[in-house]
Structure 1
Amino acid sequence: MSGSPRSYSFLVNPASGGGAAPDAVVPVARLLRDAGAEVDVTYSPGPRAMAGLVAAAIERGDVVVSVGGDGMLSSLAGSVSLADGTLAILPAGRGNDFARMLGLPDAAAGPEAQARMLLEGAVRRVDLVSWTLSGAAPRRVAGSVYCGIDARAGELVDRAHRLPRTLQYPYAALRAIAGYRPARYRVVVDGESRDYEAATVVVASSAYYGKGMKIAPAAVVDDGLLDVVVIEAASKLSLMRSLPKVYDGSHVDLPQVSVLRGRRVEVAVDARGPVPVGGDGEPLGVLPGLDGVPAVVEVLPAALAVVGAVGSPRAPG
């Protein structure tokens, strides 16, 4: 491998991928060291310690490497971007959707491809998503924020560890649909308000979530825009039948799906019970009611420097 070796701080979530993350690190770290790079590996002591570890790594001039899934990535992306550092991703979780969006090599590509990406991959800037509830500090998310069925499915995935990994997300999605109740969402995009009877609302910078579901097929991570996907209320059977279309993005052609674009999105809901919100596989709370202060989702253009990210123009249309 050629190129000037960087120095790396690997931050590893040992629970990611059913415990696969630690094994993913060893061969890649060995190849980097063989190429002359300095490598430090730390197993995550918990989210509260992450900011300090990131700050120390960036002060040393290291590239911070997220080893785990989308939740681990999201816990690091905000800290890295706020400190103006550089992030790299070694995907080792169940979903790995942000790495998929960026075209990064996963475990199937082999450690040589992953080490080459870390050593030689170009650094480019991508957008992040800011999520804010009234009275709380903003939270930076890498891929998307989602409300309703999607967030409920995310909760169920965390309880589906006994199932094969390929079945966990489809199982959770079907369970979430089976128990869903439609709600009235108010969605305000760049000041223009719309009301929907809907099953879910997704605000995305990245096309993928839920282990390869192409929820926002036209989304691009470096265009300074958010794609808002609203799946309006339908029968449970209709939602279940349309679920496979989400994997190739063709669901956006259905009449009950609306796609909006903008830079600032407000969301509130009128529902019979709490409507959960998730982001990058992690819970973010519940949506406020229509009589409260709406949740705010904003794009943060070029907020994060990432090694090896592949840019792509927005699809026409």
Structure 2
Amino acid sequence: MKIDGPLAVLANPGAGRGRHRGVLPFVLAHLRAHGHAVEPLSASTAPEALAAAHQAVAEGAGALVVVGGDGTVHLALQALAGTGVPLAIVPAGTGNDFAGAAGFTTDPHAALARIDAALAGGDTSTFDLARLTAADGTVRWFGGVLAAGFDAVVNERGNRMRWPRGPIRYDLAILVELARLRARRYRLVLDGVPQERDAVLVAVANAGSYGGGMRICPAADPADGMLDLTVVRPISRTTLVRVKPRIYAGTHVTHPAVDTYRATRVELAAEGIVGYADGERVAPLPVTVECRSGALRVLTAG
């Protein structure tokens, strides 16, 4: 696939809590030095970034290069899904889970080398995306994981907290919600087959990790045309604390309280849960999630 048009570059200045602010100038200089026409997208807020990405795609960008983490990639997916315009990622966020799933190393130099090789050869691959439809008809695309249980509740509380600043507030949110831990009644419809069950955590994944390497759905493959689900049945606080470290290795799925499923279409409902996809607040449940095979094109070398 020949890459025509300029490279639109979308960056989040706050990605990685500011640690990677110097990456964007380096990326722009590198791409220009290698003879590419580059159009940095100007945006200081998420809505501005989303609008800029949509405009760049509509105006014929050859590819969209994201310099940032999962949140910035999530914005880019809203503009890229189903268009055929390829994505490239220079990981520069706190969490770079989708970048890893798509094959981009966390080292910016190595990521740029991959992008250079892909542009030289016009090499792209296709990946699946998850299409989420909320109760009000709003549609959001995500590449990684929809959190719809304890993890989503923690995110919701952490985002409401104004003190302390930084990641410690999410640690505090975990402690608060752990003390309030309770199972909720979920209605799941997997490829038309309904079930109702109590659970403390439900995750729906296109790619298997979130939160900076937590492999919540370790078997998920973003190119297999399927969604993976992990459901944690009612467990005690002590058991949850004991099982949580195993998520990084993906071995939590062997615990007797953990069930896994696969489906192409998932309907998910529960009271009092706001879903978070790719770490971003998306919609209150109920939601419907569908796997759209090959909806995303990604620059790949070789």
Does the residue aligned with 1:127 lie in a helix, a strand or coil?
strand
Aligned equivalent of 2:17: 18
Structure 1 unmatched runs, 5+: 289-294, 311-317
Alignment check: 8 A CA contact 1:169 1:211 kept: no
- Post-superposition Cα deviations, 1:211-254, rounded to whole Å, max 9, x if no partner, equal 10000110000110000110111001110110001010000001
Summarize the Cα distance change of 1:307–1:176 in structure 2 as closer, same or farther, 3 Å threshold.
Answer: farther
Cα root mean square deviation, aligned: 2.5
Out of 114, 117, 120, the residue aligned to residue 117 of structure 1 is 114
Superposed, which structure 2 residues align to 1:52-91 within 5 Å?
A: 52-58=51-57, 59-91=59-91
2:274, 2:50 → 1: CA distance?
A: 26
Q: Identity over the aligned pairs, expressed in percent?
A: 33
Q: 1:280 aligns with which of 263, 266, 278?
A: 278
Equivalent in the alignment of 1:234: 235
Q: Deviations over 1:253-298 (max 9, x none)?
A: 01111101010001112x5xx122111111123224xxxxxx2111
Matched, 1:268 2:269: yes
Question: Contact 1:13 / 1:21 at 8 angstroms: preserved in 2?
Answer: no
**Cα drift, residue 56 of structure 1:** 3.8
Amino acid of the residue matched to residue 96 of structure 2? N
**Contact 1:55-1:83 within 8 A present in 2 as well:** no
Which secondary structure state, in structure 2, belongs to the residue aligned with residue 28 of structure 1? Answer: helix
Q: Taking structure 1 as reference, are residues 301 and 105 closer, same or farther at Cα in structure 2, changes over 3 Å only?
A: same
Counterparts of 2:179 and 2:100, CA distance in 1: 28
For residues 97-246 of structure 1, the aligned pairs below 5 Å read 97-106=97-106, 109=107, 111-121=108-118, 122-156=123-157, 158=159, 162=165, 173-246=174-247
Map residues 290-309 of structure 1 onto 2, 5 A cutoff: 295-308=287-300
Q: 1:176 to 1:211 in 2, by over 3 A?
A: farther
User: Structure 1 pair 51/83, CA: closer, same or farther in 2 (3 Å)?
Assistant: farther
Q: Is the 8 A contact 1:13 1:43 kept in 2?
A: no
- 1:40 shift after superposition: 2.1
TM-score by length of 2: 0.88
1:22 counterpart SS class: coil
TM-score norm. by structure 1 comes to: 0.84
User: Which residue does 1:39 correspond to in 2?
Assistant: 38
Identify the range of structure 1 (241-250 vs 13-22) with the bigger mean alpha-carbon deviation: 13-22
Cα displacement (A) at 1:78: 2.0
**Unpaired runs of at least 5, structure 2:** none
Contact 2:125 2:300 in 1 (8 A): yes
CA contact (8 A) 2:217 2:228 kept: yes
